[in-house]
Amino acid sequence: DAGVIQSPRHEVTEMGQEVTLRCKPISGHDYLFWYRQTMMRGLELLIYFNNNVPIDDSGMPEDRFSAKMPNASFSTLKIQPSEPRDSAVYFCASSLGRGRLFFGSGTQLSVL
Partner 1 sequence: DQQVKQNSPSLSVQEGRISILNCDYTNSMFDYFLWYKKYPAEGPTFLISISSIKDKNEDGRFTVFLNKSAKHLSLHIVPSQPGDSAVYFCAASPLGSGTYKYIFGTGTRLKVLA
Give the shortest CB-71-to-partner 1 separation in angstroms: 21
Interacting residues with partner 1 between 46 and 75 (CB under 8 A): 48, 50, 55-56
Give the shortest CB-30-to-partner 1 separation in angstroms: 11
Separation CA 60–CA 41 (nearest Å): 14
Give yes or no for residue 41 binding partner 1 (CB under 8 A): yes
Give yes or no for residue 30 binding partner 1 (CB under 8 A): no
Give the shortest CB-112-to-partner 1 separation in angstroms: 21
Longest dimension (CA), the chain: 39
Separation CA 11–CA 3 (nearest Å): 21
Adjacent-strand bridge partners of 90: 36, 107
Q: Which of 75, 62, 53 is nearest to 7 (CA)?
A: 75
Q: Which residues bind partner 1 (CB under 8 A)?
A: 4, 31, 33, 35, 39-45, 48, 50, 55-56, 91, 93, 98, 100-106
